[in-house]
Amino acid sequence: MKRPQTENTALRCLVAAVFAIILVVGSAFELRAESGTPAADTLSPAALKQLGDTIRNEIATGKIPGGILLIQQHGKPVHFECFGVRDPDTGLPMTPDTIFQIYSMSKAITSVAAMTLVEEGKLSLDDSVSKYIRSFANAKVGVDTSDEAGKYPLKLEPLKRPITIRDLLRHTSGITYGFFGETQVQKLYANPLLYAGDFDNADFADRIAVLPLADQPATRWNYSHSTDVLGRVIEVVSGQKLYQFEKQRLFDPLGMSDTAYYVADKAKWPLIAKGFLVDRFRVAGISDDPTLPRRWESGGAGLVSTTGDYARFLQMLLNGGELDGRRYLKRETVALMTSDQIGPETGIIHDPFYFPGPTSGFGLGFAVRTSPPPNTNWPLGEYRWDGAGGSFYFVDPLDDMLGVFMVMSPTQGGRIQLNLKTMIYEAMGRGLRKD
């Protein structure tokens, strides 16, 4: 059923909310010894109660149906609480096993999966994408040109250098999304035909390859389908479907039993979190119904997961690539991924919709903080991202802490993220400075 007015309004609210958040909440990875900022104290019981009261007020005032908050420090939960209901239609309560669509929180997982192949020497950050996906050999850049009639036809220009795996990981490929911005290229990415039919990762990568790029590679950070293309590269290199590879390398050994590209087990369908009607719409080709089987395994936005599953993934990263005696990535690989890869020395421009925000750079799959927000003592070393459904996570190596908030509320999640994040750091003595 088409709901164009409702969907357009919700999307505008989503983009505006996310853009406002990231202007304040950035992240970056630096070694603790280099940050110059001492570790903060843990959260007090009073501060934890205030966090819970804030979420309960969001539910009581009809902003969100429910959510789950987990704060974990030194490998153990400091606070874990379920709020409200997971489905406003049924009234079923929010429980720890609730399954959420995590949208762009999928990007971190796909990025880690790719880096396991880099460590094995099967993939190089400087490899051309066209080495694995031949259709990208013919990629062109779309340049808006104006004629005397006031029309804006696209001029196609050849690449000055190929798109690399590094570009896919740090969103400097020139690929874009179609749900924000008004350029001629972005409008092409908004065409519903891009998502038509029952396609797989190979089909989707070829569809992206024939669209013009928004910029020359390695010239601008532009949020994009790059991670979806990266998922296809993983398939070509590994000889497995993306889910099969991630299940074998990450999900099974980490115990992430409820993380997948759709919920196949009908017995678990009642566990799926749903938003209010205003928050149910398709974003970048991803349906709001995760029970539908699909061949497209979107490495950029397609995963479902639980709070516990995702926290185990984050704890592995916080531990420097190891969990429960098993190593998934080298410590130096995690450090590389969570350090700024688009700093001033690279000459890479920030797009007007630069979602990491002015206090942040971007690594290989994560926003990374390069300076604290004004008048705060927020730690250098935090890295994070969020999803279109409103869920978000952060990893704070300095304080040996991670946080996950799961919710299904695209129109409210960004505002709530800023509020909760601010409260967490204020409770740890990292709020507004008095000097």
Residues 271 and 142 in one domain: no
Residues 247 and 213 in one domain: no
**In angstroms, how far is CA 213 from the centroid of its own chain?**
21
pLDDT tens for each residue of 162-176: 999 999 999 999 999
Q: Which amino acid is at 186?
A: Q
- Tokens representing residue 268 in the block: 């678990």
**CA triple 419-423-425, angle to 5 deg:** 120
Residues 304 and 179 in one domain: no
Least confident of 47-56, 218-227, 274-283, 308-317: 274-283
Residues 159 and 252 in one domain: no
Residue 44: the pLDDT is 85
Quick one: 75 exposed, middle or buried, by C-beta within 10 A (0-12, 13-18, 19+)? exposed
**CA triple 42-47-51, angle to 5 deg:** 115
Of 354, 306, 243, residue with least CA distance to 102: 306
Give the helix/strand (H/E) hosting 16.
Answer: helix 4-22
Residue 254 lies in a domain: yes
Q: Where among 186, 209, 237 does a domain terminate?
A: 237
Count the domains in the chain.
2
Residues 31 and 100 in one domain: yes
Residue 12: the pLDDT is 34
Q: Do you know the residue count of the chain? A: 435
DSSP helix/strand/coil, 30: coil
Residue 432 lies in a domain: no
Average pLDDT over residues 355-378: 92
Residue 202: the pLDDT is 98
Max Cα distance, the chain (Å): 67
Strands (E), 204-339: 220-221, 304-305, 322-323, 326-327
Residue 433 lies in a domain: no
Residue 290 lies in a domain: yes
Residues 268 and 404 in one domain: yes
Residues 217 and 360 in one domain: no
Q: How many CB atoms lie within 10 A of CB 150?
A: 6
Alpha-carbon distance of 406 to 64, in angstroms, equals 11
Q: Which residues form the domain of 188?
A: 124-237
Residue 119 lies in a domain: no
Residues 6+ apart with CB under 8 A from 340: 28, 29, 361, 362, 363, 368, 370
Task: Assess whether pLDDT exceeds 90 at residue 22.
Answer: no
58 backbone dihedrals φ, ψ, rounded to 5°: -60, -40
pLDDT tens for each residue of 40-95: 667 888 889 999 999 999 999 999 999 999 999 999 999 999 999 999 999 999 99
- Tokens representing residue 215 in the block: 């910029």
Alpha-carbon distance of 394 to 99, in angstroms, equals 19
Average pLDDT over residues 180-187: 88
Residue 27: the pLDDT is 33
Residues 252 and 208 in one domain: no
429 — pLDDT class (breaks 50, 70, 90)? confident
Residues 298 and 230 in one domain: no
Query: How many helices (H) does the chain have, and how many strands (E)?
Result: 13, 16
Residue 414: the pLDDT is 83
What CATH number does residue 315 fall under? 3.40.710.10
Q: Give the orientation angle of helix 201-209 with respect to helix 226-238, to 10 degrees.
A: 130
Handedness of CA 26, 28, 33, 39 (dihedral sign): positive
Of 413 and 111, the one with more pLDDT? 111
Residue 57: the pLDDT is 97
Residues 193 and 329 in one domain: no
Residues 71 and 84 in one domain: yes
Alpha-carbon distance of 16 to 9, in angstroms, equals 11
Task: Assess whether pLDDT exceeds 60 at residue 292.
Answer: yes
Alpha-carbon distance of 154 to 141, in angstroms, equals 9
